[in-house]
Structure 1
């Protein structure tokens, strides 16, 4: 098992900024925009699925919560490693906050809690070789309390999301699929470290609103 890297005390506690919401809400655009604005790494959570999940999805089988729990733990541990490497390599100056911006739907509270470092007892990590095979620089490591997690919740009505998706070339999503995600969504409003951003605006305006929310929450 890999050992966690630590962020020197000369830096503020590292931050994991998760851009969340249902499919079609614009997570990738907003996440990339925030990462660019604060000059921190951008990570697409879907790229961190362990091989077992990838194989299951490739066969058309939906993932269960038991499949998602270790994946979410991998996302957090990868962000921990990325932040520690920033600080130790000098990518961020002394006194600046290491951070990573991650895109992940995070529809349920238990998913968000895992991203906060609160692993359910039922969470079983996949074999380390599985994770290392696909992500040699981000193998899962023990979670620590040092990484502080914040959420940018991209929210909008079903009509707004469908309208946005219909305007995107090459994107197809059935209304029923969106309805299913909206039904699964457990709103994070009221949870600590969450900012809601209305997506009923232009992409640039949504990115600007999300950027302001990050600045207001963590000063970056």
Structure 2
């Protein structure tokens, strides 16, 4: 596992200082099979024929895993194909769900895959969205203050690295139907989401208001 300390220049024209976020690289399996499944997903769901499964990030989507441990959460994303306990998604693709980042309950940020490679984490928008998963979030394991601070720092880093226009919670993804970023071809492919919770999103938005995200549809 490789550890990097990445300097982040916040939009600190307002704050006049520099800050840093620590990210630990812990990659999931991304072999030739996952690459091909990702390319198939891009074509089947978005009509995008590509030689590489790259994305142009325009959005950050915050999630929770609803799994109480880091190990369990990581294992849910690690393998190439969907596990047997996700029959609700299998008809759309055998590609496993994943995310670019996973934030543990103590606030440690892990990068699971490069931000410019497609991860399957949000219907209709994967081709333009960076996913940030947070360990826990179910009733027995609520998201923590440390996770909140790490999400804020990570959002600021990503905004100053990519041309990010939107910040949303997973539960808000269907607001983008009929938006130019929405490319989902299957009108019957939707799931109901509540993550990462409205209170968590409100706090992240308050802390990042200076970044001037576009208003969600």
TM over 0.5: no
Greater helix share, 1 or 2? 1
Larger CA Rg, structure 1 vs 2: 1
Larger RCO (alpha carbons 8 Å, 6+ apart): 1
TM-score (norm 2): 0.29
TM-score when scaled to structure 1?
Answer: 0.29
